[in-house]
């Protein structure tokens, strides 16, 4: 079975300090992995995606994530947090084999709320 | 501007009432999706459609219905059979099925 676990429900950082949002996945096959961001009462915006090319993926707004197969991780990082980064972040894996008839569908983590203190 | 629109932003439902949430996209995407978001639970798939006039149930389809008569439109009806409809509903689309999904701004449904 494929699944995704976000290890922290809430992360708080100070403005200008690094951000680390942790994500582990479970998949029997090479997964496609995504990070989305959601600001309050808004839709989800794609930050970045991994699809078996380079293991270090750069996204928008200075975020990047590294795919580590040995650790089954896809942690999201940013060197320096901005106040505008305060939002909820979702790690997502895409099913790539038939699984209950939902091939190709997304499995979402439960989200990590990022707070940024001035 | 291309994108996905959802309306209304807030919707109120009375007991025993069916309500319909609108989702429109002008991205020329073939595939469309409906998700339900509850606090602390991430997103769960309700229905998806790979092509016009075709759709499949997702993980939590009970109490919901959809139609896909036009490529750009994928309305979701929350029926009276859905006993706990209060949630944030998100519509998404992708160029083709299995490609990256792009999301609309969402509709918040509240029960009176």
Specify burial of residue A100 (Cβ count, 10 A radius: 0-12, 13-18, 19+).
Answer: exposed
Give the pLDDT of residue A97. Answer: 53
Comparing C-alpha atoms, which of A105, A61, A106 is closest to residue A87? A61
Render each residue's pLDDT in chain A as its tens digit; 118 residues.
678 999 999 999 999 999 999 999 987 677 889 999 999 888 899 999 998 778 899 999 999 999 998 999 999 999 999 999 999 999 998 876 544 444 567 889 999 999 999 9
Do residue B106 and residue A101 have CB atoms under 8 angstroms apart?
no
Is A103 close to B103, i.e. CB distance below 8 A?
no
Distance of alpha carbon A30 from alpha carbon A38, whole angstroms: 26
Report the residue from B6, B103, B108 with minimal CB separation from A44: B103
Closest chain B residue to A49, measured at CA = B100
- List A12's β-bridge partners, or say none: A115
Q: What is the mean pLDDT of chain A?
A: 89
Record: contact B40-A104, CB cut-off 8 A = no
């Amino acid at each position: 079975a494929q699944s995704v676990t976000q290890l922290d429900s809430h992360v708080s950082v100070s403005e200008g300090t690094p951000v680390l949002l942790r994500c582990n996945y479970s998949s029997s096959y090479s997964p496609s992995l995504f990070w989305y961001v959601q600001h309050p009462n808004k839709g989800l915006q794609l930050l970045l995606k991994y699809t078996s090319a380079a293991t270090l993926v750069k996204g928008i707004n200075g975020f990047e994530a590294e795919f580590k197969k040995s650790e089954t991780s896809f942690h999201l990082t940013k060197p320096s947090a901005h106040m505008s980064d305060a939002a909820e972040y979702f790690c997502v894996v895409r099913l790539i084999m038939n699984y209950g008839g939902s091939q190709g569908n997304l499995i979402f983590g439960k989200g990590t709320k990022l707070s940024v203190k001035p | 501007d291309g994108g996905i629109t959802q309306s209304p932003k807030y919707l109120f439902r009375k007991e025993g009432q069916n309500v319909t949430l609108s989702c429109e996209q002008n991205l020329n995407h073939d595939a469309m999706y409906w998700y339900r978001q509850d606090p602390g639970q991430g997103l769960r798939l309700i229905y998806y459609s790979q092509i016009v006039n075709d759709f499949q149930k997702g993980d939590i389809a009970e109490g919901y219905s959809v139609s896909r008569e036009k490529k750009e439109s994928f309305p979701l009806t929350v029926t009276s059979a859905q006993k706990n409809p209060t949630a944030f509903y998100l519509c998404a689309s992708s160029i083709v099925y299995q490609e990256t999904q792009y999301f609309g701004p969402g509709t918040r449904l509240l029960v009176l």
